[in-house]
Structure 1
Amino acid sequence: MQWFRRSLLAGFFVTVPLIVSVVSLIWLFQWIDGLMGPRLVRWLGQEVPGVGLLATIAGMLIVGAIATNVLGRRLVERAEKSLMRVPIFKTVYAPVKQLLLAFSPDNEYGFKRVVIVEDPERGFVLGFLTKE
């Protein structure tokens, strides 16, 4: 029973932030597509499929470029600090960010590779190597 509860909770805490992130990105694509699509139809005279996806990727690229310089990093830190005071935002954003940072190749302490370890009580278990 303990294995079941632990596995269920672990699955919940991995899948919920992932699902929230994917649903949020899809919503963002559709929202941007709804904003930009009609304008591009008027401007170009035809519908451009995927404009929401392209605009979202371009936006992420711009935010990433800003966030990697000194002033941008300070601005992002202040914005995150302010937003982390909002309970619902904090509940969703913090775990999603932590999970993404764990898999980031730039993170010194992130997951390096998947390993299998023998545990005397549980048998073989999967784990993530974080440091050699």
Structure 2
Amino acid sequence: MKITKIKKTETKNLFQRCRTYFLTGIAVTAPIGITIYVSIIFINFIDRNVKDLVPVAYNPDTYLPFNIPGTGLIVAILSLIIIGFFTASFFGKFFVRLGEKVINRLPVFRSIYNALKQVFQTVLGASSKAFREVVLIEYPRKGIWAVAFITAETSGEIGIKLKSNFVNVFLPTTPNPTSGFLLMVPAKDLIKLNMNIEQGMKLVISGGIITPEIKNKLKKKMSKATIRQKVN
């Protein structure tokens, strides 16, 4: 009987180890595999749509018996660099202003273009940051806290109406941070965090699974504060 129990225990332990190794293998290979798969889909999508725009004389597929993956992506990147270079020049700025004047006369297209332009300038602008700081706000009720991002100080008509020090805060949803809520919160009610924007985003997207590591200096401060609380 004892031998049978020992064998059953060993079999159970072996099964548990195999299960642990299997899940560990998934945890390691799944992110890599999905990243490669999504990258291949993205490159193929760009290739299909960009290669058709390349003249036959300059298309590598005309001269080579095989397809070179990523050619369309390279062409797209070079095209964007050329467009950016041209736009930065005097004539480029002139044509951009001319095009914007035409678009601003079209009611529907004007609204879409101006909204998209403002978003891209905010996100991609070298001199500005979409999010300034990571903070905690008491939401949706007292005693419950949420991670949010300061976007700007509340100004304009809203700032005048509120008459005190408010800030615009973006509260993202999990796991899709592209949607969320715009809140005007008193600056005194915010708890500023030491983590950077990227770490804050990882925390939100992962649903709290990925928690940023605390820096050594902050660890020392927190440990000292804990000791003081225990003493008191």
CA contact (8 A) 1:115 1:127 kept: yes
Give the match for residue 61 of structure 1.
Answer: 81
Kindly name which structure, 1 or 2, has the bigger radius of gyration based on alpha carbons.
2
Query: 3-state DSSP class of the match of 1:35?
Result: coil
Q: Give the 4+ runs in structure 1 shifted more than 6 A.
A: none
Q: Select the residue among 124, 127, 132 that pairs with 2:149.
A: 127
Q: Which residue of 2 aligns with 1:99?
A: 119
Report whether the alignment pairs 1:115 with 2:129.
no
Map 1:34-113 onto structure 2 (within 5 A). Answer: 34-36=52-54, 39-108=59-128, 110-113=129-132
**Amino acid across the alignment from 1:118:** I
Report how far residue 65 of structure 1 moved.
0.4
Q: Taking structure 1 as reference, are residues 99 and 79 closer, same or farther at Cα in structure 2, changes over 3 Å only?
A: same
Count residues with an aligned counterpart: 105
Write 1 or 2 for the structure with the bigger share of helix. Answer: 1
- The secondary structure found in structure 1 opposite 2:120 is helix
- Cα deviation for residue 89 of structure 1 reads 3.6
Deviation at 1:58, TM superposition (A): 0.8
Could you tell me which runs of 5 or more consecutive residues in structure 1 were left unpaired when the two chains were aligned: 1-25
Give the corresponding residue for 1:16. Answer: none
Normalised by the size of structure 2, how large is the TM-score? 0.36
Shift of 1:41: 1.6
Percent of matched pairs sharing the same residue: 21
Which structure has more relative contact order (CA 8 Å, sep 6+)? It is 1
Give, in whole Å, the separation in 2 of the partners of 1:45 and 1:115. Answer: 53
CA RMSD of aligned residues (A): 3.3
- Give the partner amino acid of 2:114: A
Aligned equivalents of 1:88 and 1:28: distance in 2? Answer: 28
Shift of 1:34: 2.5
Structure 2 alignment gaps of length 5 or more? 1-43, 154-232
Normalization by structure 1: what TM-score? 0.57
| Distance in 2 between residues matched to 1:107 and 1:35, nearest whole Å | 34
